[in-house]
Amino acid sequence: MKKPRERGKVPEPKPVRKRPSAVSRVFVWFFVLLLVSGVVAAGGAFYAYQEYTLPGPLAENKIYTVGKGLGTPEIAAGLQEAGIISDARVFSAMAHFTGTRTRLKAGEYEFPAEASMRDVMALIASGKSITYKLSVPEGWTSEMAVARVNANEILEGPPALVPPEGSIMPDTYVFRRGTTRQKLVEDMQAAQEKLLDSLWDNRSPLLPIDTKEEAVVLASIVEKETGVAAERPVIASVFMNRLKKNMRLQSDPTIIYGLVGGKGKLDRKLTRADIQNETPYNTYRINGLPPGPIANPGRAALEAVLNPQPTDYLYFVADGSGGHAFAATLEEHNANVKRWRQIAGNAAAAAAADAAADTPVETPQDQAAPAESPAPAEPAVPDGMAGGSEPPP
């Protein structure tokens, strides 16, 4: 039942709903947009973090080269194209966010299977690219060393120039892709110069040589005379004693270098004619040191020359075991030579007997007609100090 209206009472007006102002509407939309942006940003950040930290797309290890002069976007695009990372945009963003973009280094890298984007970025920033090795043995000539450098397919650039003999330090060198051949040779020279400077400062005060250049010349001869480490200081003392007495060095390797230069070894035994051959390097024919080194000496040979073992030896000859027999007098040396020849002769006779025992006997009809006897060859000289069997000059 409808309640009767009281007389004389005015009904209350209904409240009028106000429409929101333009400012209010802008604020609301801004808040909504901000909220949506936050959600999107959070989702993007979550996606980026996952892409950055989770295992990457590589199924197996892969070698890839980051080129020189590339910016972060170019590096990222190349990595994505190579299948190393999944999203170049994330890589670029994270490199910027972490401050890594200024530390990315060119080079050849090996990326492990499933490497995360974070690991990929860290490796490139570390600069720990793949390294390669090239060895130059002690006693090699500069020509031989540079031939090995120029034949290396990892090194870049035109063929390196052959530096002066004795200026390369024999060693194993580590380099990275992008290194030029000439740069590696220059590094070898710098290493030899640094080594020589340090050893020269600690040399014996009793040496009959005055310059570092002379030390390298004599060390190269010592290097070629023996491969037995313990003998180097002793052989160095022999040459030092000879220089002090104005005796010729009479070193076989100097004859060989005079014949073949820096191209390598002689493919035959030395002969008496070789000893008489007048070359600037033949220390049987010249007094003192040859005009330059005959090889690149290593550290041990340089140390032996600059601090030789004190001895009174003037002669040495190969003893048939890989080492040498040393003597202070010509008589002792001649006895050593005779003993060496006897040992060598016995060994040759035993080898010939063994070969004859294993050779089947031919019947008369199987035997070939006798060949014409060749002219006798010049007698070979014993290894070591070949000229020691005659009085010193």
What does the pLDDT average to over 374-386? 40
- Which one has a higher pLDDT value, 73 or 370? 73
The percent of residues above 90 in pLDDT, for the chain, comes to 69
Q: pTM here?
A: 0.75
Displacement of CA 10 from its chain's centroid (Å): 109
Residue partners of 371: CB distance under 8 A and separation at least 6: none
- Which one has a higher pLDDT value, 345 or 166? 166
390 pLDDT exceeds 60? no
Residue partners of 335: CB distance under 8 A and separation at least 6: 327
247 pLDDT exceeds 70? yes
Q: What is the pLDDT of residue 341?
A: 84
Q: What is the pLDDT of residue 205?
A: 94
What does the pLDDT average to over 341-355? 67
> What average pLDDT does the chain have?
84
173 pLDDT exceeds 60? yes
- Which one has a higher pLDDT value, 240 or 342? 240
List, in sequence order, the alpha helices (H) in the chain.
Answer: 22-53, 72-81, 88-97, 117-126, 142-151, 181-200, 212-225, 232-244, 252-260, 272-276, 299-306, 330-357
82 pLDDT exceeds 60? yes
At 35-79, the pLDDT tens digits run 555 555 555 566 777 888 899 999 999 999 999 999 999 999 999
CATH 3.30.1490.480 boundaries in the chain: 53-126
Q: What is the pLDDT of residue 353?
A: 59
Confidence of residue 343 (pLDDT cuts 50, 70, 90): confident
Confidence of residue 388 (pLDDT cuts 50, 70, 90): very low
CA angle centred on 383, ends 393 and 196, rounded to 5° = 80
362 pLDDT exceeds 50? no
- Which one has a higher pLDDT value, 345 or 148? 148
Q: What is the pLDDT of residue 105?
A: 96
Task: Give the separation between CA 295 and CA 316, rounded to whole angstroms.
Answer: 21
Q: What is the pLDDT of residue 25?
A: 60
What does the pLDDT average to over 3-20? 61
Task: Give the separation between CA 352 and CA 349, rounded to whole angstroms.
Answer: 5
What does the pLDDT average to over 157-180? 97
184 pLDDT exceeds 70? yes
The percent of residues above 70 in pLDDT, for the chain, comes to 76
What does the pLDDT average to over 79-96? 95
Q: What is the pLDDT of residue 369?
A: 34
386 pLDDT exceeds 50? no
What does the pLDDT average to over 147-168? 98
Contact indicator for 52, 94 with CB cutoff of 8 Å:
yes
Task: Give the separation between CA 385 and CA 144, rounded to whole angstroms.
Answer: 25
Contact indicator for 179, 155 with CB cutoff of 8 Å:
yes
- Token look-up 């090699």 returns 140
5 pLDDT exceeds 90? no
At 325-340, the pLDDT tens digits run 999 999 999 999 998 8
At 191-223, the pLDDT tens digits run 999 999 999 999 999 999 999 999 999 999 999
Contact indicator for 72, 92 with CB cutoff of 8 Å:
yes
383 pLDDT exceeds 60? no
Q: What is the pLDDT of residue 99?
A: 94
DSSP state of 366: G
Q: Does domain 53-126 have CATH number 3.90.1150.200?
A: no
Confidence of residue 265 (pLDDT cuts 50, 70, 90): confident
Q: What is the pLDDT of residue 319?
A: 86
Q: What is the pLDDT of residue 24?
A: 61
